Amino acid sequence: MTQTFADWTAYDDWLIKNYNEFAVFELNENDDHTVTAQYREKNLDAEKSGEKKKEDK
């Protein structure tokens, strides 16, 4: 998914509200000083299994 924000503050506000739900994988500041974020839904099951693998090492 892609979303464009008016500025960094608008992006920060969105990120704080949506941190647990979405993972940002690309972030760009555009020439007009807007910020474009590409993100996906977080898969909590995958994250938990990754944590277990790290703990097993």
Locate 1 and state its tokens.
Answer: 């998914």
Give the tokens for residue 43. Answer: 């898969």
Tokens read off for 39: 């993100």
Split into its structural domains, the chain has a count of 1
Predicted TM-score of the model (pTM): 0.71
- What is the model's pLDDT at position 16? 97
Q: Which helix (H) or strand (E) segment is 4 a member of?
A: strand 2-5
- Helix (H) / strand (E) element for 39: namely strand 35-41
Amino acid occupying residue 17 = K
* Domain hosting residue 13, numbered range: 2-56
Tell me if 25 sits within 8 A of 39, measured CB to CB: yes
Per-residue pLDDT of the chain (57 residues; tens, 9 = 90+): 999 999 999 999 999 999 999 999 999 999 999 999 999 999 866 555 555 555 555
Radius of gyration in angstroms for the set of CA atoms belonging to the chain, rounded to a whole number: 14
